[in-house]
Amino acid sequence: MGPVPLFPFLSVTWFTLLVAVVAAEDVTGDGYTWPQWKVPLVRNRRTVTLSSPGFTAEPQGELNGTCGIECQSHLPDPSMHDLEEFLAYETVYENGTRTQTFVSVQGDNGVDVWSAGKVSSSSRSRRKREVYGTDTRFTIADKQFSSKYPFSTSVKISTGCSGILVSPKHVLTAAHCIHDGRDYLNGAQKLRVGVLKEKSRRGKGGRGKRGRGKGKRRKGGEEEEEKEEKDRGKERKGGKRKKSRSRRSVETEKLSFRWTRVKLTQIPKGWFKGGASDSVAADYDYAVLELKKPQKVMHMDLGVVPSIKNLPAGRIHFSGFDDDRSGNLVYRFCSVTEESKDLLYQHCDAKHGSSGSGVYIRLKEPGKKKWKRRIIGVFSGHQWVNVNVDGAQQDYNVAVRITPLKYAQICYWVHGDSGECRKA
């Protein structure tokens, strides 16, 4: 089934979007199942205390000079020592203290992650653009979608990025959303994560379900209550017909961000500039945030695939909070143009704010008829990529792919037990 026409600026009905999502995720044939990987162990070797970070960095635009496919083909394979340097990580706690943890990698497939297959690099140049041709993004404004899986797994980061829930208490996002490669962003000191949740509904007599007879309300609750009182006043003046229309309008606007403080953040040292190698920084543009309170919504599991381009249409999907559609969740899908062992190059339409979104696909569970979505990458954003050793650059929207080693590290951060992370 081919892609369906998209009309992102019109109001999208449940059925229209359902057809689009199913068409985008349609994979025919029985052979397209999640591969089973033996994941190497990433074990903590030593942890040292560091001085508190300065939190002085400013948010970045696009990244320049990322070593692309042709560029990477001229680099030697990283040694085990290099891999352990890249996978060492910093942890920053809510109180501002910081540690660095050194790791050891154990497992026969720890170095040779996989061969992604032969990939070609286009020599055609492009001007900078985050929307390529017709804008094919869907704005998910209807609560029937944005509060339901898989869209409900998307979260907003207080520094302006997006992320995705990988457990009730853990969010996967891009490292550059909280760190510029040298220091933490000035907004990362009191980092928060926003989850879209439905506001309290009106009960009989015009009262909400929550808070009846209780004096405590969340910050901003008074403003929400005043707005509802005004809406009810307009309904009474406008008669039955106006009341019905107003009630439908309120029903579609009952989602708001519920913010939760971040307990700690973890970033691989491979992201840090001036570390083992500047050229691989983009390959490690991911981070995990642990929340102070678990969220009562579904999360999405991690997955590993050897090659996206070998799948029908090579499509990926992700949802985030693009800046140009403030407060709304934005969904898109597209085909991967190029891929390397660590990065996915594509022209998915995206704007600032979508960085950190979880990139996912849907495949069959091994030995079952059930289909399952899993996160196979983190959307990093617009980047100028070095396509050859002469420094020629081409622009892409780039995602960091989950490799077995990255899976092992992220899984350990989430579970705290490497025994939970032996298979992907």
| CA distances from residue 203 to 115, 208, 211, 243 in whole angstroms, order as listed | 58, 5, 11, 15
- Rama region for 97: left / alpha / beta (φ>0; ψ in -120 to 50; rest): beta
Annotated catalytic residue within 122, 125, 244, 278:
278
Q: Which of 158, 354, 355, 357 is catalytic?
A: 355
Within 10 angstroms of residue 37's Cβ, the number of other Cβ atoms is 20
Q: How do strand 371-386 and strand 63-67 relate by DSSP bridges?
A: parallel
Q: Which amino acid is at 151?
A: F
| Known active-site residue 123 | no
Rounded to the nearest 5 degrees, what angle is found at the Cα of 357, between the Cα atoms of 312 and 314? 10
| Catalytic, out of 170, 176, 347, 382 | 176
Which residues are CB-contacts of 139 (< 8 A; sequence separation ≥ 6)?
8, 9, 12, 325, 328, 329, 330
3-state class of 134 per DSSP?
coil
355 is catalytic: yes
The answer to whether 11 is a known catalytic residue is no
Q: What is the largest CA-CA distance in the chain?
A: 74
Let me know: does 320 contact 138? Beta carbons within 8 Å.
no
Which residue numbers are catalytic? 176, 278, 355
